Structure 1
């Protein structure tokens, strides 16, 4: 009985087709793997033989998938297809439980895996940590923890980031600060959006102990796909300072922002930079610059090593200039 059962299982497994997605290209090539995402003109196909492969959508003849996928033909509306079936060149058949529907590939703007609650939710982010302990004539402890995440649904995109830094030497703390920021983008078109944000910084060591900034303004998304993203924006900000002696001041400023990342070498490496350059409308300072540049190396699909440099400058301030540079190296997780 055991032998007969094992034989039946073997026959069943051999006769069951593998649930691999297939993409046919216009040049005659045929690729098999798992469709992860189509966005920004690129279809990401995860393969066992070549890792993640980004395919130009214009070079795809047709495709098929046995897994449910959310297919968007408009900017913000879509439907979950239970499967995709190959069709004539430039077309694909959507099976939605009812009558199959043939659509043009050129009409499709996005394909993603449907989420359990919010089907079109796209959530990505990373957490980076750096720790340095030095035991010598002078004992030094250095901690850095940072996170950044964004979630997009319909016309809305939620962004959040934060960072914590602490340095001490022989139990004397020289750096102890943290910051948090939340911003909400509303897309007026597929590229233009309106940004509203709030940022709070707390420093227990420096004279500038608290900083709160509230800003709003337009932004433009140059691209956002599996190979990276780039957005720029302009803000009108109100900033409130509180110093360690209890003195307070506030001012308005205009600022330009950027956020760029690019994957290289088959998504093994990621180069990223983001920052803000501001000009106060009053005479409290000449300008302020807050910029981050870094490189991230993916060890696995979720684990990474990172190297970052951060620069914080306040020039021409009535309370003295600020010029800080910080370098960190550590590990993290990415999703």
Structure 2
């Protein structure tokens, strides 16, 4: 009898819901309510396309009920709300609206040169209806022969609004502070459209095209500030292309990921110093030791293209390039 009720409910659901045309509400046993478009169904899983998280698969045993909004009332009729059709499935994953990832890398070396390195990476994300909020932060500290070689941190909050399941608009801020560099503080504001090019359970790719303003602050007593005679602040306008790729291998507990930003500067506040572009790219591999603990290897590449252009002499490159590899242990929640 229980199986007959389940089959009847599924038949009613298939009649009431076109698989990819109308919105559906999934009420989970943990209290969450997900609204999206059902892409496919089986006796064990329901695949739902969410406007903020892409395609997700949910076990039927974790679903309390599935409902669909009532049909639109014709304009000539009184605007009275009708009760939505509800299909109850007695059996139903916990699709948490938030996630947190933390990676730590540390090393200590003693020999001809003593060195200590500490790297922290924190990434958090929260999804609510058509909104996605994110926060990325990095902290790097390196000590060599009791002298600081690296001491910097980044904080990057962002907010996405999904216009459709794939198209969204992003606004973000990037704050970078370097305790040792002459350009000790950089502050970027950017906004622009993004598109989820690939939305699959094992493969996702987001692209964002943005424009913004970059503010660079220099130490008043620094050599660079005195040499260039421009004061302690520069403002740039820029365009950028961001990408975020994740691929989960099917047969191995491995995840390949790549993210980065290509930035082109649109104005030049200093005539003889030409800033062309900045590129930041990360390529990494995560190996899951358990559902929450993983080992991570990452390769980071940073490049800033700068040219010194003085009258009567050839252009002189002042490009800055930085390569880093890192092995860390992390956890996801």
Using the size of structure 1 for normalisation, the TM-score is 0.66
Asked whether 1:325 is paired with 2:323, we answer: yes
Which residue does the alignment assign to 1:295?
A: 285
Aligned residues: 249
Residue in structure 2 matched with residue 312 of structure 1 by the alignment: 302
Could you say if the C-alpha distance between residues 75 and 174 of structure 1 is closer, same or farther in structure 2, counting changes exceeding 3 Å? closer
Cα distance change on mapping 1:173 and 1:197 into 2, 3 Å = same
- Whether 1:286 aligns to 2:276 is yes
Once the two structures are TM-superposed, the CA of residue 113 in structure 1 deviates from its matched residue by: 2.6
Give the Å deviation of 1:162: 0.6
Q: What is the distance in 2 between the residues matched to 1:123 and 1:209?
A: 33
Which residue of 90, 103, 110 corresponds with 1:135?
A: 110
Quick one: structure 1 residues 267 and 219, their matched pair in 2 at CA, closer, same or farther if it must change by over 3 Å?
Answer: farther
Matched, 1:235 2:225: no
Gapped runs of 5+ residues in structure 1?
Answer: 1-56, 77-82, 86-91, 105-110, 115-120
Q: Which runs of 4+ in 1 moved over 3 A?
A: 71-76, 92-96, 98-104, 223-226, 317-320
Q: Distance in 2 between matches of 1:218 and 1:161?
A: 19
Q: Which of residues 214, 237, 246 is equivalent to 1:252? A: 237
Q: 1:188 to 1:249 in 2, by over 3 A?
A: same
Gap regions ≥5 residues in structure 2: 1-38, 53-58, 68-82, 226-231, 269-273, 309-316
Alignment correspondent of 2:179: 204
Matches within 5 A, 1:203-222: 203-222=178-197
Normalising by the residue count of structure 2, what TM-score does the alignment of the two structures yield?
0.67
Separation (CA, whole Å) in 1 of partners of 2:49 and 2:86: 13
Q: Is the 2:216–2:233 Cα contact (8 Å) retained in structure 1? A: yes
User: How far off is 1:225 after superposition?
Assistant: 5.0
Deviations 1:176-208 (A, max 9, x none): 110010110000111100000000000011222
CA 1:314–1:95 in structure 2 vs 1: closer, same or farther (change >3 Å)?
closer
Does the CA-based 8 Å contact 1:94-1:100 persist in structure 2?
A: no
**Hey, what's the Cα distance between the residues in 2 that align with 1:291 and 1:232?**
14
**Residues 198 and 204, structure 2, Cα contact 8 Å, conserved in 1:** yes
- CA root-mean-square deviation: 3.3
- After TM superposition, list the pairs within 5 Å mapping 1:13-32 onto structure 2: none
| 2:157 corresponding residue in structure 1 | 182
CA displacement at 1:112 relative to structure 2: 4.6
- The separation in 2 between residues aligned to 1:61 and 1:258, in whole angstroms, is 33
Give the alignment partner of residue 43 of structure 2, picking from 44, 51, 62. 62
1:208 aligns to what SS in structure 2?
Answer: coil
1: CA distance, partners of 2:178 / 2:201: 36
